[in-house]
Structure 1
Amino acid sequence: MRLRKIFVLGVALSLLGIAAPASAQDDPRSCNDELPAGTPSYVSCRWLATPEEALAIANFWLQNDGENLEAAVPIPPILIDCAEDGNECTPAAPGPGDGDGELHDVGEPDVEGAEDGGTPECAAGEECYVDPHGLTAAQVSEAEKTAAGQTVKTAVAAGMRVWVDTELSDDWKAGKLPEAARKIAAVAAQEGVVGVRFTRQIGVGQTFQNADEMDKFVTEATTELRKLLPGRKLAAHTVVPVFGCGAEEACKTAVSAKYPLLDPDRIGAWLAKGLIDQLALDSGHLAGTYATWKIDAATAQRNQWTQVKARAWDAYAHLAAEDAGFTAAGSPQLTAEQATKAITERVATPLQNDAAETVTLWSRWQNAQGQVSRMYGEKWAANATWDQLKKLNEVRPRLATVYDPAHPEVDAATDLKALSEVFGQVYVHTS
């Protein structure tokens, strides 16, 4: 049993070895030989505790039946003795929500003019609703009655984790951000909603004239939403094409010039500042963008997630991969073997590499001409792709999809029940 404890503790300590690059090849703390074949040269490994040191640490704590571990105690807190000469202790004034600082009997109003143990009575005596964040009872009630509001309730009832999905950049450009944010917040205020994804493919189109304007939108949109929805998470979707280049300098130069707004340092700053809680990176460009430099989709994907991990973006926010490639006009015609291969490459790989924490797969979308693309059969007819996806039960909480209540396959109840068999999360789109 002790050997097992030593082994487990030693392994745990050894796994902490990913650190700064070694300064020399003969560095005894270098663990580059532990990296898998094909790892880019700019990724290095260094032991914080070598296996020998980890064993010594484990032995120290476990020797003599864990004598040192049992004797260890928390560091005592720093206390101030108010009775000691020279120390002056002033009672803190009551803060918001602390009441009036007086002791009250059970059932007695907390403040003058209150009833039922602290519920304020309106001036005219009527039942009133007070929300300090700018949403009225009427706004929330009306939002619950909309198609998006009812879809949220249906998705929650189906056991799915729910986000509200929208695009606020056009409203921001038109000077209508506060009104649009309140409308979305009223939908997202419902019980069971995790948060709001407020923009999609940011930096890709022609919405913003320059990067500073894009930064201003992200700052103002997140500030407005956090004021309206305290405690809810905020998400954004984009793409960082330069990541797929890996170490290919010619590729990085060309791609950066083509997509000047998609600078990884700028996007990383949004995460480091806490503006965004979840960032989804699109995978749609990985198949053909890098053909000039003979970088295939699998290599581009590996390059992308290696860059994400090297920048420690996951230390600041939740990272997601997003993929619309499983859909096809009408429905996909993949065989079971082809579907399994695609799932392995585009769903399992990002998760197994500990790169993306979730994968968002588009299950249905409709273009401007009305043509529908699906990952399942029409009216939920069975097909090989959907059948293979239904086998991913163990990772269902990590799989998400996008649902537009304005364009149902059958109806919200039928659709979300079927989607919940594959996906643990859903982004309910609302305009």
Structure 2
Amino acid sequence: MPRLRKREWIIALIAVLLTVPVTLTVAISTNLAFASGETTTGADNGDCDEILGPNTAESMYCSWMSKTPEDALDVVKFWAENDGARMKEAPPYPGPVIFCKDKNNKGPILQGCADKDQVLCKYDHSAGKYVCKDTAGNVTNPPEKACLGGEFDCSHDGSATGGTDSGTSGTSGTSGTDGTAAPAEGDGQEGDPSGQSAPRDQADPTAVPLDTTAEPRSVEDPQADTTGPTDTTETAPEATAEPRNDQNSQKTQNDQQQNPQNNQRPQNDQNTTKKTAAPPDDTTGQAAAAAVKLGMRVWIESELAPAWTAGKDQFQTAVANLAAQAGRPGVVGVKFAQDLGYWGFKKSDDVRRFVKDASAALRAAMPAGRQLAVDVVVPEMGCGASEPCQAALRGKYPLITRANVEKYVLTGDVDHVNVSSGLFSGEYAKWKITPDKALRNQWIGIRARGWDTRVHIGAREVGMAHSGADKLTAAQAEAAAKLRVDLPLQAGVQTVTLWTHRQNWDGAVWRILDEGLKTNNMWKALQARKGLNRLAVTFDAGDAEKSVTDDLNKLAEVFSEIYIHAG
């Protein structure tokens, strides 16, 4: 994704502030807000500590987020004065981080921390992670907790400063650091079995209720590299499966398991998909053309994972078909994976290779300017600062830990990442975390970790659809909309995509509208948010409620963006 220079960031921030309705509270990140020693009204420190853990770098970043457009505008004015002089003098991003390895120190300004316990970490752009040194200049490990995310070089024995202590994190320094101002995109996870440029780090999600269970769909690549230490214990766990549109994928995977000789992973042969066919005049194409005429932003969505695991020929055919749909005028791009890593894979290294292969093939086949999107889900993000909850969900879902998901998608291989919600409420309940709290944990955590500086971030919400008639009162519908639409937007999410207009799932038909395109209280609550221009919906043209034309005309009353399933 192209990076903005400092002056362009100022212009972009002002543009956001001018376009956000005054009734909507937005969180504009201001990670340089305290560089001058001045203060600004930020997020509540207690809330940030509760969600992200006390004295963590993410918690400090969270506290720097502005609460209102007025607060954010004050910050923008501060940095824009004198042609951005303060911005020019500020240290490059990411700046240095100071830790105190004395576990009794409570920070965040290293009160009473002895020199021997201080560790200064500067970002090494060539290594793609922070490298830490003690006060004597010896390279050492940061506190053990800082090693969990993969952003820090933790390959040293730490003997110089007692690297095994479970210390508390410190503060961002104000001194300069080597490197450029743009965030690095290097690999930040130890134990990557491939010596290639693997995906880089930064991610997290949560959920709301939809208690439908199913066996995960897993296909193991017989040629997968098994030498990597991070992959030897990873297996696809049983999970609460999200409804998906690729109804033929189970049959495809069963065929693959019966015929493993066909499961050869496709190579990155871009020449085979250079030419894009004319957009097909099928049901999907007709729906896309109609949606464009209605002024909607159009994405074409499909699932490439089954074809990728099936072998080179199937993968190239699937890529060609998806690219052809993307060639239609007005199409923004394609989404090629739903809840990436949650199903269909046995090893995280396979997921990384799949994203890389799919990205290269699609970019070679699609017209210039088309974007690539994926859906992800990160269960541990809903836990907030609850370490037992985080540990349990990392163990149960090893392929979709925060560290792994960040390596899948914060790489430059995709442009847009939708974080799913609504899948793990039953898991969070074990730790007395309510669905609304889990959502808040997720979105503030994602914003605090700066995902939006690497990719466009969207929400994918599955908790607003219903089977049968919608029985919510007006007050209940408004409360649901505030939680599942307003909250992500307040946390900086660009769009909220709702599952679904209409889909058969688990023996019932799920909808946002009622049967026959009848409005309900939820629809009315969403209509009140039409002016935000931030709502999207998933749509299967092959399974319309009345007709493609009637359905799209109705959806355009609320949604400005649509994901059309390519059968």
What TM-score results when the alignment is normalised by the length of structure 2? 0.55
Q: Secondary structure at the match of 1:164?
A: strand
Name the structure 2 match of 1:38: 47
Provide the C-alpha distance between the structure 1 equivalents of 2:273 and 2:445, rounded to a whole number of angstroms: 38
Which of 389, 406, 410 is equivalent to 2:546? 410
Provide the C-alpha distance between the structure 1 equivalents of 2:461 and 2:443, rounded to a whole number of angstroms: 14
Question: How far is the alpha carbon of 1:306 from its aligned partner?
Answer: 2.1
Q: Contact (CA 8 Å) 1:286, 1:301: kept in 2 or not?
A: no
Gapped regions of structure 1 (runs ≥ 5): 1-8, 23-27, 48-53, 63-67, 69-130
Query: Which is greater in Rg?
Result: 1
Q: Work out whether 1:311 is the aligned partner of 2:319.
A: no
Q: Secondary structure at the match of 2:433?
A: coil
Question: How far is the alpha carbon of 1:326 from its aligned partner?
Answer: 1.4
Question: How far is the alpha carbon of 1:263 from its aligned partner?
Answer: 2.4
Q: Contact (CA 8 Å) 1:365, 1:372: kept in 2 or not?
A: yes
Provide the C-alpha distance between the structure 2 equivalents of 1:283 and 1:268, rounded to a whole number of angstroms: 17
Question: How far is the alpha carbon of 1:55 from its aligned partner?
Answer: 13
Name the structure 2 match of 1:225: 362
Name the structure 2 match of 1:246: 384
Which of 297, 318, 339 is equivalent to 1:180? 318
Provide the C-alpha distance between the structure 1 equivalents of 2:80 and 2:523, rounded to a whole number of angstroms: 52
Gapped regions of structure 2 (runs ≥ 5): 1-13, 18-27, 65-74, 86-270
What amino acid maps onto 1:273 in structure 2?
Answer: T
Name the structure 2 match of 1:212: 349
Residues 76-155 of structure 1 correspond to what in structure 2 (within 5 A)?
A: 134-135=274-275, 139-141=277-279, 143=280, 145-155=281-291
1:56/1:267 Cα in 2 relative to 1: closer, same or farther (>3 Å)?
closer
Q: Contact (CA 8 Å) 1:246, 1:304: kept in 2 or not?
A: yes
Name the structure 1 match of 2:480: 342
Q: Secondary structure at the match of 2:528?
A: coil
Q: Secondary structure at the match of 1:363?
A: coil
Question: How far is the alpha carbon of 1:19 from its aligned partner?
Answer: 4.3
Question: How far is the alpha carbon of 1:320 from its aligned partner?
Answer: 0.9
Equivalent pairs counted in the alignment come to 335
Q: Contact (CA 8 Å) 1:235, 1:276: kept in 2 or not?
A: yes
Q: Contact (CA 8 Å) 2:425, 2:435: kept in 1 or not?
A: yes
Q: Contact (CA 8 Å) 1:197, 1:234: kept in 2 or not?
A: yes
Provide the C-alpha distance between the structure 1 equivalents of 2:41 and 2:549, rounded to a whole number of angstroms: 53
Q: Contact (CA 8 Å) 1:363, 1:376: kept in 2 or not?
A: no
Q: Contact (CA 8 Å) 2:461, 2:499: kept in 1 or not?
A: yes
Question: How far is the alpha carbon of 1:409 from its aligned partner?
Answer: 0.5
1:249/1:188 Cα in 2 relative to 1: closer, same or farther (>3 Å)?
same
1:322/1:57 Cα in 2 relative to 1: closer, same or farther (>3 Å)?
closer
Residue range with higher mean Cα deviation, 225-234 or 160-169: 225-234
Question: How far is the alpha carbon of 1:275 from its aligned partner?
Answer: 0.6
Residues 291-306 of structure 1 correspond to what in structure 2 (within 5 A)?
A: 291-306=429-444
What amino acid maps onto 1:162 in structure 2?
Answer: V
Provide the C-alpha distance between the structure 2 equivalents of 1:254 and 1:326, rounded to a whole number of angstroms: 27
- Calculate percent identity across the aligned residue pairs: 34
What amino acid maps onto 2:443 in structure 1?
Answer: W
Residue range with higher mean Cα deviation, 378-387 or 411-420: 378-387
What amino acid maps onto 2:543 in structure 1?
Answer: H
Name the structure 1 match of 2:339: 201
Q: Contact (CA 8 Å) 1:322, 1:360: kept in 2 or not?
A: yes
What amino acid maps onto 1:349 in structure 2?
Answer: L
Question: How far is the alpha carbon of 1:382 from its aligned partner?
Answer: 2.4
Name the structure 2 match of 1:423: 559
Provide the C-alpha distance between the structure 1 equivalents of 2:80 and 2:422, rounded to a whole number of angstroms: 50
Question: How far is the alpha carbon of 1:231 from its aligned partner?
Answer: 1.8
1:423/1:228 Cα in 2 relative to 1: closer, same or farther (>3 Å)?
same
Provide the C-alpha distance between the structure 1 equivalents of 2:453 and 2:463, rounded to a whole number of angstroms: 28
What amino acid maps onto 2:295 in structure 1?
Answer: G
Provide the C-alpha distance between the structure 2 equivalents of 1:210 and 1:132, rounded to a whole number of angstroms: 27
Provide the C-alpha distance between the structure 2 equivalents of 1:330 and 1:56, rounded to a whole number of angstroms: 51
Question: How far is the alpha carbon of 1:16 from its aligned partner?
Answer: 7.6
Q: Contact (CA 8 Å) 1:358, 1:400: kept in 2 or not?
A: yes
Higher relative contact order, chain-length normalized (CA < 8 Å, sep 6+): 2
Name the structure 1 match of 2:414: 276
Provide the C-alpha distance between the structure 1 equivalents of 2:350 and 2:476, rounded to a whole number of angstroms: 43
Provide the C-alpha distance between the structure 2 equivalents of 1:224 and 1:184, rounded to a whole number of angstroms: 11
Name the structure 2 match of 1:105: none
1:38/1:157 Cα in 2 relative to 1: closer, same or farther (>3 Å)?
same
1:249/1:157 Cα in 2 relative to 1: closer, same or farther (>3 Å)?
same
Question: How far is the alpha carbon of 1:20 from its aligned partner?
Answer: 9.7
Provide the C-alpha distance between the structure 2 equivalents of 1:317 and 1:296, rounded to a whole number of angstroms: 28
Question: How far is the alpha carbon of 1:310 from its aligned partner?
Answer: 2.2
Q: Secondary structure at the match of 2:478?
A: helix
Name the structure 2 match of 1:18: 31
1:17/1:278 Cα in 2 relative to 1: closer, same or farther (>3 Å)?
closer
Provide the C-alpha distance between the structure 1 equivalents of 2:284 and 2:451, rounded to a whole number of angstroms: 31
1:183/1:56 Cα in 2 relative to 1: closer, same or farther (>3 Å)?
closer
Question: How far is the alpha carbon of 1:350 from its aligned partner?
Answer: 1.1
Q: Contact (CA 8 Å) 1:244, 1:300: kept in 2 or not?
A: yes
Provide the C-alpha distance between the structure 2 equivalents of 1:57 and 1:287, rounded to a whole number of angstroms: 42
Question: How far is the alpha carbon of 1:291 from its aligned partner?
Answer: 1.1
Q: Contact (CA 8 Å) 2:288, 2:298: kept in 1 or not?
A: yes
Q: Contact (CA 8 Å) 2:352, 2:407: kept in 1 or not?
A: no
Q: Contact (CA 8 Å) 1:164, 1:197: kept in 2 or not?
A: yes
What amino acid maps onto 1:241 in structure 2?
Answer: P
Question: How far is the alpha carbon of 1:392 from its aligned partner?
Answer: 1.1
Q: Secondary structure at the match of 1:199?
A: coil
What amino acid maps onto 2:380 in structure 1?
Answer: V
Q: Secondary structure at the match of 1:367?
A: strand
Q: Secondary structure at the match of 1:387?
A: helix
Q: Contact (CA 8 Å) 2:33, 2:40: kept in 1 or not?
A: no
Provide the C-alpha distance between the structure 1 equivalents of 2:517 and 2:41, rounded to a whole number of angstroms: 50
Question: How far is the alpha carbon of 1:17 from its aligned partner?
Answer: 5.0
Provide the C-alpha distance between the structure 1 equivalents of 2:351 and 2:496, rounded to a whole number of angstroms: 25
Provide the C-alpha distance between the structure 2 equivalents of 1:369 and 1:293, rounded to a whole number of angstroms: 27
Provide the C-alpha distance between the structure 2 equivalents of 1:392 and 1:161, rounded to a whole number of angstroms: 17
Q: Secondary structure at the match of 1:254?
A: helix
Q: Aligned-pair RMSD on alpha carbons? A: 3.1
Q: Secondary structure at the match of 1:293?
A: coil
Question: How far is the alpha carbon of 1:285 from its aligned partner?
Answer: 2.5
Provide the C-alpha distance between the structure 2 equivalents of 1:276 and 1:369, rounded to a whole number of angstroms: 31
